[in-house]
Amino acid sequence: MLMNKFILLFSGIIAVATIMFAAEPSLSPAPATEHHVIKPGDLKWGDAPPGLPPGGKMAVLNGDPTQPGPFTVRLKGPSGYKVMPHTHPTAERLTVIAGTFKIGMGEKFDEKSMQQMTAGSYVVLPANMAHYAKSGGKDAIVQIDSEGPFQINYVNPSDDPRNAKK
């Protein structure tokens, strides 16, 4: 009984921290040092960080994407959500949780060359490999495992949402 209360409390803390991370990256949760379980209904989605296009939602499952060390997040992209060609300084491991997600390699967005991934699909993207993505005909949820601090470097600076005129 006490363990169940601890799990519920810990899940609540993770959920609150997820919302805080979405609003203020410096407030993301610390890496897990104890066992915890997060069920799909426990996830608290907040806006994706500014380096990703508007409309995306993110939930932090483990770690702190703003700090050195491993982290796991889920990204929810609405139908047609596009992330233009970019790289990361660390490897990215991506699993499709729901919906369809297309992934392409290279420095130019080319939808014809993209591979469609369905739920359960997995891809490893080595550090500094240029790639791009687009969610399929309905909302997609992908899980991303990587090493922090999270960085996204767009091949074309004009594609970077952080450079958009406000």
Q: Under a CB-based contact definition with an 8 Å cutoff, are residues 74 and 141 in contact? A: yes
| Nearest-angstrom CA–CA distance, 7 and 3 | 6
CB atoms within 10 A of CB 119: 14
pTM beyond 0.85: the answer is: no
CB atoms within 10 A of CB 130: 17
Confidence band, pLDDT 50/70/90 cuts, at residue 32: low
Q: In the predicted model, is pLDDT for residue 159 greater than 90?
A: yes
- What is the mean predicted confidence (pLDDT) over 51-66? 93
CA-based radius of gyration for the chain: 16
- What is the mean predicted confidence (pLDDT) over 142-160? 95
More confident residue, 115 or 25: 115
Residue 61 sits at the vertex; the CA angle it makes with 3 and 32, to the nearest 5 degrees, is 60
How does pLDDT run across 75-91, given as a tens digit for each residue? 999 999 999 999 999 99
Q: In the predicted model, is pLDDT for residue 6 greater than 80?
A: no
Q: Does domain 2-163 have CATH number 2.102.10.10?
A: no
Q: In the predicted model, is pLDDT for residue 20 greater than 90?
A: no
CB atoms within 10 A of CB 52: 21
